[in-house]
Amino acid sequence: MKQNTPVDAFLTSSLGKFNKKLASQLGLIHSVVFTNFCLIAVRNNNLFPYLIPDIAKDAFIHVQTATKAVGILVEEGFIKRKRRGIPSKVWYSINEERLEEFMLFNIKEDK
């Protein structure tokens, strides 16, 4: 039986409630990129390589915009980025603690 994670909760929240909050705090493009990261994380057990051109293609944005969006998401702590392997690839994972903190804060704020 699959355990519910903060990523699952983010993706299945009613009418994208948390996605709207993320978009209002970080911007729409960052929210779209983060949602794409979440969808891929669910399929790959939260550790996956993801090339910037692929991120741009999946989000229908320019490569430079994707680079900035990923940088901001890393800076804000929503995703983790590290290099692994030979040749080196950039691997990403969702920072579930930060996502859970964000969601809990916004639930309390709505009440």
* Domain map (residue ranges) of the chain: 6-110
pTM: 0.86
pLDDT tens, residue by residue, 35-55: 999 989 988 888 999 999 999
The model's confidence at residue 1, banded by pLDDT at 50, 70 and 90, is: very low
For domain 6-110, say whether CATH 1.10.10.10 is its number: yes
Percent of the chain with pLDDT over 90: 56
Q: Which residues pair with 82 in a beta bridge?
A: 91
pLDDT tens, residue by residue, 87-96: 888 999 999 9
